[in-house]
């Protein structure tokens, strides 16, 4: 049996030429047409003029999210009607999260403009961004992501448009160089908001509890803001397509805006920008020419291409695209084959040296078990896709491998006493481990329920750090038949953001630590982040759980 498996795997590897000669393109015959198809699917952005709704003060409030809240102080006309030379600084509220091109205008009140003025504009998605000093900057990402810009207005009246696209609800405008010789007011401002989302999602059942209506609305806003010429991860930061975010955005889109062409574009873009050896890059850039970010290979993300393709096929029936891109989905499996050992376990130690294995933004998370789980999940999902395309024969080995892996996981990771899955290398009990064992269909439904419940009563459990893993947690709960728990967790986690004033869902949300940042500075977190948008998928896919 051992020899058979080994031979099987070796044959797979050789057959698909995983080890390519440098410079020889595994997808040579298809790459150009994939990139062409990606280009042809670039969606039109719709532009909507947005106007501010009022002025706010950002005030300290221990009970508010990150200890700051915006309090409406005056209608916007208060700004337009008065000397800005006297006002000097305001915070303007647009009433909703917006992504687009911001401009503001001035008018003279007294005398002619005989000297330039200078303004500092600070755009914030959440109140704390408007009042937290950005400098000296200690964050781990580029300081330039922070949305403060200084502009010089050489003459008045005039209008200045900020060159960068901004993503915000609030904008602080400060006069930082006051011309002594004349007086003026800010006479208007607008943001030309952009999105590629145009369809209107269906209405929820009237019986839907308010909290799920709210969560659905904010999910849709989040997704809409991220839908640009690709599914971006976050319109403030990083403004680009990531494989992991794509999967979740496509899921949510399937149940809401149903703009399948954007999913198609992103799949083709990622395929067209894959490595010559066949591996997908986890993130790509659109400008100037489409290009991948080199050396960004996420083991877990790479399999989500096939899963997204399978969902896309099921939603659209677009067999042509699915067949066209099938080789990419299949090819990713080889990243798993190489670590699969004779005993059905994976060589996690080697893989963790060779890959970025993500799963979650969570310091201290041990990923060995989840690594095994997602591999089984990938095999299962890809085999499903193969079946839809009548290509089972190309991956005939998968059912056998899944079985083998299941057996090995139960033997090495499952603790029948506690009902929990833990690693061989580390006995950490984590949500990630249980979730990915369940999504990989290792435990029975009963065992799955037991493990998920045990998480609540076990000490020192490694909890999810970001909404990304929380999505898979809800998926695992539903898969395990724990509808009520899924409902409660969505209401508590995403509802928690709603209660804290979220207009869009956040990249990072730990209810116990609102200042958590993977980048060492919470204002550089994204507060409108694709991977948080999936409640709309759950709410709309499972009306029996959420819409009653």
**Does residue 179 interact with its own copies by CB under 8 A?**
yes
CB of 285 to its own copies, least distance (A): 6
State which residue, 127 or 292, has the beta carbon closest to its own copies: 292
Check residue 144 for interaction with its own copies (CB under 8 A). yes
Q: Under the criterion CB under 8 A, does residue 73 sit at the interface with its own copies?
A: no
Q: Which of 46, 83, 138, 158 binds its own copies (CB under 8 A)?
A: 158
Nearer to its own copies, 56 or 284 (CB): 284
**CA-to-CA distance for 232 and 237, rounded, in angstroms?**
9
Which secondary structure element, helix H or strand E, spans residue 301, and what is its range?
helix 299-302
- The DSSP string of 354-420 is HSB--S-S-TT---HHHHHHHHHHHHHHHHHHHHHTT-GGGGTTHHHHHHHHHHHHHHHTEETTTTE
Q: Which of 14, 177, 396, 425 binds its own copies (CB under 8 A)?
A: 177
Shortest reach from residue 274's CB to its own copies, in Å: 15
CA 358-361-367 angle, 5° bins: 45
Q: Looking at beta carbons only, is 164 or 446 nearer to its own copies? A: 164
CB closer to its own copies out of 291 and 446: 291
307 Cβ contact list (under 8 Å, min separation 6): 247, 378, 381, 382, 385
Query: Does 114 engage in binding with its own copies (CB under 8 A)?
Result: yes
Q: How many CA atoms lie within 13 A of 49 on its CB side?
A: 5
How many of the other CB atoms lie within 10 Å of CB of 148? Answer: 17
Nearer to its own copies, 85 or 412 (CB): 85
CB atoms within 10 A of CB 59: 14
Say whether residue 154 binds its own copies (CB under 8 A).
yes
Give the nearer residue to its own copies in terms of CB position, either 171 or 386.
Answer: 171
The DSSP code for 174 is: E
**Closer residue to its own copies (CB): 14 or 144:** 144
Write out the H or E segment, with its range, that includes residue 315.
helix 304-316
Buried b (16+ CB within 10 A) or exposed e, 526-536: bbbbbbbbbbb
Q: Which of 10, 40, 88, 140 binds its own copies (CB under 8 A)?
A: 140
Euclidean distance between CA atoms 436 and 370, whole angstroms: 5
**Of residues 215-274, which lie at the interface with its own copies (CB under 8 A)?**
238, 240
Of 85, 118, 279, 453, the residue at the interface with its own copies (CB under 8 A) is: 118
Q: Tell me which residues in 93-112 interact with its own copies (CB under 8 A).
A: 111-112
How far apart are CB 150 and its own copies at their closest, in Å? 5
| Smallest distance, its own copies to C-beta of residue 145, A | 6
Cis peptide before 60 (omega within 30 of 0): no
- Sole window of 144-152, 210-218, 415-423, 488-496 interacting with its own copies (rule: CB under 8 A): 144-152
Q: Map residues 280-319 to x or -, x wherever contact with its own copies holds by CB under 8 A.
A: ---x-x-xx--xxxxx------------------------
Nearer to its own copies, 99 or 256 (CB): 99
Smallest distance from its own copies to CB 283, Å: 8
Give the number of other Cβ atoms within 10 Å of residue 77's Cβ: 10
Which of 113, 126, 271, 374 binds its own copies (CB under 8 A)? It is 113
> CB of residue 83 vs its own copies: minimum separation in angstroms?
16
Which residue stretch of 160-168, 189-197, 342-350, 479-487 sits at the interface with its own copies (rule: CB under 8 A)?
A: 160-168
Q: Given the rule CB under 8 A, which of 36-44, 134-142, 203-211, 370-378 is the region that contacts its own copies?
A: 134-142
Alpha carbons 290 and 270: distance in angstroms, whole number: 10
Nearest by Cα to 278 from 262, 304, 297: 297
**Range 388-407, binding its own copies (CB under 8 A):** none
CA atoms within 13 A on the CB side of 275: 21
To its own copies, the closest distance from the beta carbon of 112 in angstroms equals 5
C-beta of 118: minimal distance to its own copies in Å? 4
Instruction: Tell me: does residue 163 bind its own copies (CB under 8 A).
Output: yes
State which of residues 176, 198, 396, 425 lies at the interface with its own copies (CB under 8 A).
176
Cβ contacts of 151 within 8 Å, gap of 6 or more: 118, 119, 121, 160, 162
Count the Cβ atoms, other than its own, within 10 Å of residue 17. 14
Our CB check for its own copies shows the closer of 145 and 377 to be 145
Mention every residue, 6+ apart, whose C-beta is less than 8 A from residue 315: 254, 258, 260
Measured between alpha carbons, how far is 529 from 357 in angstroms, rounded to an integer? 20
Contact 300, 377 (CB under 8 A): no
Give the chain's end-to-end CA distance (angstroms, integer).
Answer: 51
Q: Which of 115, 198, 396, 425 binds its own copies (CB under 8 A)?
A: 115
Q: Count the residues of the shown chain that bind its own copies, applying the rule CB under 8 A.
A: 44
Select from 158, 58, 206, 181 the least CA-distant residue to 111. Answer: 181
Contact assessment for residue 503 and residue 220, using Cβ atoms and an 8 Å cutoff = no
507 binds its own copies (CB under 8 A): no
- Judged by CB under 8 A, the residue of 25, 61, 107, 149 near its own copies is 149
Give the binding site for its own copies (CB under 8 A): 111-118, 137, 140-145, 149-155, 157-158, 163-165, 176-181, 238, 240, 283, 285, 287-288, 291-295
């Amino acid at each position: 049996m051992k020899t058979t498996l080994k031979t099987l795997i070796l044959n797979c590897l050789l057959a698909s030429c995983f080890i390519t000669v440098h410079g020889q393109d595994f997808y040579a015959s298809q790459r150009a047409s994939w990139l062409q198809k990606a280009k042809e699917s670039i969606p039109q952005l719709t532009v909507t003029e947005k106007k501010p709704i009022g002025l706010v003060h950002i005030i300290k409030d221990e009970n508010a999210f990150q200890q700051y809240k915006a309090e409406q102080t005056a209608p916007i006309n208060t700004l337009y009607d008065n000397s800005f030379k006297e006002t000097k600084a305001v915070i303007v509220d647009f009433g909703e999260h917006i992504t687009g091109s911001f401009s503001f205008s001035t008018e003279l009140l007294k005398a002619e403009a005989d000297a330039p003025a200078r303004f500092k504009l600070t755009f914030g998605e959440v109140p704390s961004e408007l009042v937290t000093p950005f400098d000296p900057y200690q964050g781990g990402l580029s300081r330039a992501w922070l949305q403060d810009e200084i502009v010089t207005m050489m003459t008045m009246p005039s209008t200045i448009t900020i060159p960068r696209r901004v993503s915000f609800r609030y904008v602080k405008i400060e006069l930082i160089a006051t011309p002594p010789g004349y007086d003026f007011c800010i006479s208007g401002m607008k943001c030309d908001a952009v999105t590629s989302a145009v369809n209107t999602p269906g209405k929820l059942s009237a019986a839907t509890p308010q909290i799920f209506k709210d969560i659905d609305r904010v999910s849709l806003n989040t997704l809409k803001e991220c839908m640009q010429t690709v599914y971006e991860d976050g319109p403030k930061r990083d403004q680009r397509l990531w494989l992991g975010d794509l999967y979740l955005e496509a899921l949510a889109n399937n149940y809401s805006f149903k703009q399948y062409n954007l999913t198609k574009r992103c799949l083709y873009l990622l395929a067209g920008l894959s490595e010559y050896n066949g591996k997908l890059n986890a993130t790509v850039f659109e400008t100037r020419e489409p290009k991948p970010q080199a050396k960004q290979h996420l083991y877990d993300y790479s399999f989500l291409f096939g899963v997204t393709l399978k969902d896309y096929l099921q939603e659209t029936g677009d067999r042509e695209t699915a067949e066209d891109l099938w080789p990419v989905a299949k090819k990713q499996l080889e990243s798993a084959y190489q670590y699969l050992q004779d005993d059905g376990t994976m060589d996690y130690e080697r893989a963790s040296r060779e890959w970025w294995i993500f799963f979650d933004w969570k310091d201290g998370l041990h990923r060995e078990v989840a690594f095994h789980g997602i591999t089984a999940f990938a095999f299962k999902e890809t085999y499903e896709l193969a079946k839809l395309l009548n290509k089972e024969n190309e991956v005939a080995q998968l059912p056998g491998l899944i079985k083998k892996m299941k057996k090995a996981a139960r033997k090495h990771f499952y603790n029948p006493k506690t009902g929990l899955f833990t690693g061989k290398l580390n006995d950490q009990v984590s949500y990630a481990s249980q979730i990915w064992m369940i999504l990989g269909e290792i435990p029975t439904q009963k065992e799955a329920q037991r493990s998920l419940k045990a998480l609540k009563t076990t000490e020192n459990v490694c909890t999810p750090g970001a909404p990304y893993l929380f999505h898979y947690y809800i998926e695992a709960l539903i898969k395990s038949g724990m509808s009520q728990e899924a409902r409660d967790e969505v209401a508590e986690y995403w509802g928690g953001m709603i209660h804290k004033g979220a207009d869009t869902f956040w990249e990072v949300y730990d209810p116990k630590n609102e200042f958590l940042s993977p980048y060492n500075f919470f204002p550089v977190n994204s507060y409108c982040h694709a991977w948080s948008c999936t409640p709309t998928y759950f709410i709309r896919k499972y009306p029996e759980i959420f819409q009653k």
